Structure 1
């Protein structure tokens, strides 16, 4: 089977980076070049590419809480041993 990989454009608004399979970060089924881009630049975290400044294209209200931060918070507050309340 032939496993050719092609670089995809990062789904972060205004990002000029290409996403390779080796550096793939996913969020909501979209490909991102870094965790910062996938999390919509929490606290204004910069894109790892020195040439790209896509963090300035994300609205402040969009970057308040990322999906990965919510997932982590849920995992920390609800251990698997706790039953689900009715």
Structure 2
């Protein structure tokens, strides 16, 4: 017996696509229809659906990673990112 989950709306702002079992990408506990939507359309990458233009609904500042976010990510990996001292 196949237990398919019902299609959900994509969590990307303005996206009209549905998230299916075959095309499901997760980020921060939300389901998206494509990797482009999950990554908030880096460099304006278009939605894979020809009928949807949700990339135009994502603000540029939401796409970019800020220096403070990078600093926090580096701090989270320290000291694992440092080589072992002899």
**Pairwise TM-score range, normalised by the shorter structure:** 0.7 to 0.9
- 1:6 equivalent in alignment to 2:6: yes
Number of aligned positions between the proteins: 74
Alpha-carbon RMSD: 2.6
CA contact (8 A) 2:4 2:21 kept: no
Q: Give the TM-score of the pair, scaled to structure 2.
A: 0.74
Q: In the alignment, what sits opposite 2:34?
A: 34
1:43 alignment partner, SS class: helix
Unaligned 5+ segments in structure 2 are none
Q: Give the TM-score of the pair, scaled to structure 1.
A: 0.74
Unaligned 5+ segments in structure 1 are none
The structure whose Rg is larger is: 2
